[in-house]
A = this chain, B = another copy of it.
Amino acid sequence: MNAQKSTFPLNAWYAAAYDVEVGRTLLARTICKQKVVMFRRTDGQVAVLEDACWHRLLPLSMGTLNSDEVTCGYHGLVYNAQGRCTHMPSQETLNPSACVRAFPAVEKHRFVWIWPGDPAKADPALVPDMHWNDDADWAGDGKLITVKCDYRLVVDNLMDLTHETFVHGSSIGQRAVAEAPFVATHGDRTATVTRWMENIDAPPFWAGQIEHARGYKGKVDRWQIIKFEAPCTVNIDVGVAEAGSGAPPKDGQSGDRSKGVNGFVLNTVTPETDGSCHYFWAFARNYCLGEQRLTHQLREGVAGIFREDEHVLEAQQIAIEEHPDHQFYNLNIDAGSLWARRLIDRLIALEKPPAPVIAIRRAA
């Protein structure tokens, strides 16, 4: 009935772990429906293998890591970091087919990224820009949460911050967000939603930040500039500045944010299965860089806000599964997420084999 369509492209870099998670042990995780085992080689590079022994499928993550090789925990087959079997018990000759798949992996912007598709296309230059996550001009920290929903629901959520008003009313939400106009634009692989709310009262979260960092109390100009990069990265430039101090861009020029506080909410959301995802996020700021207490407080504060989203997203996933044929209508506020969805769909379509051409010849 419902022919299962792919929900994500394979030819893309997906965050698989925070850098610190991968060390000299065997870390198991499911990325894009593929079970993998990750470990750090003795030279510090990350290796990523299919997590199933070639012989009897036992997860290699249940085995042991010795130097740069993994020994299966059942019958002792040994695999090197490229996935090739280098030892079998009780026999000298190794079956030439004996190997497990190895995945291209790079470490960048504090994440380990893996490429589940065609290795020949795995160009490290395609890793999404999340440099705020390890840039000396910014300070911050983040977390990984595994959410029981299609990763695209998280993208939808981030592309329309109207929901802040209703989901996060006690921290960052305010009527102004739901009422302010916004502009949605898009490129080949990116979509951007920009919303400026000028001369408003700051919501509790931002009122606290600008007072702490700049000693300022009063009206602010607030911005949210959401930038999506297909298939699953959303970096959000957020902040407030003294009202009227020139923060909004003018005549195509960036504004002056020097009287403000600026943060980036960095999000990259990796499909685990069709109905669950690994949601990596971090919050980086450009003020009070040395305050470890503030870093800790912001990380836990944002974590609390994201738990509110998690609750909504998981309920939405259940409702969608219960209404498999539901036809969704879109509102104005969905402009950003619609573009994100289109860009994702385009990447998926590119990976499909072309439909066969059927020649019909008529007998003359």
Contact = CB atoms under 8 A, between A and B. Distances in A.
Contacts of A95: 329, 331
Contacts of A35: 322
A328 to B, nearest CB: 7
Contacts of A59: 315, 319
Interface in A63-93: 63, 71-76, 88-91
A121 to B, nearest CB: 25
* Oligomer copy total: 3
A63 B163 CA distance: 12
Contacts of A76: 162-163, 165-166, 178
Nearest to A162: B89
B160 A75 contact: yes
Interface stretch (A50-58, A104-112, A138-146, A223-231): A50-58
A333 B75 contact: yes
A361 interface: no
Contact of A163 (B52, B75, B91, B97): B75
Nearest to A182: B90
Interface in A297-324: 311-312, 315-316, 319-320, 322-323
A254 interface: no
B163 A74 contact: yes
A62 interface: yes
Interface in A306-354: 311-312, 315-316, 319-320, 322-323, 326, 328-329, 331-333
| Interface-central residue, A88, A156, A179, A323, by most chain B CB under 10 Å | A88
A218 interface: no
Contacts of A326: 57
A98 interface: yes
A311 B73 CA distance: 11
A150 B360 CA distance: 50
Contacts of A332: 90-91
A119 interface: no
Contacts of A255: none
A6 B167 CA distance: 38
A28 to B, nearest CB: 10
A181 interface: yes
Given A62-B315, A315-B59, A52 B323 contact: yes
A333 B87 CA distance: 13
B57 A98 contact: no
A52 B319 CA distance: 7
Contacts of A75: 160, 162-163, 166, 331, 333
Of all A-B residue pairs in the complex, the 9 with the closest CB atoms, nearest first, are A57-B319, A89-B178, A76-B166, A91-B332, A89-B162, A90-B333, A90-B332, A58-B316, A52-B319
Given A57-B323, A59-B319, A97-B329, 13 more contacts: A52-B319, A55-B329, A55-B331, A58-B316, A62-B315, A73-B312, A76-B162, A88-B331, A89-B331, A90-B180, A91-B331, A91-B333, A95-B329
14 contacts: A35-B322, A57-B316, A58-B316, A72-B166, A74-B167, A75-B166, A76-B163, A89-B162, A89-B179, A90-B162, A90-B178, A90-B179, A90-B182, A95-B331
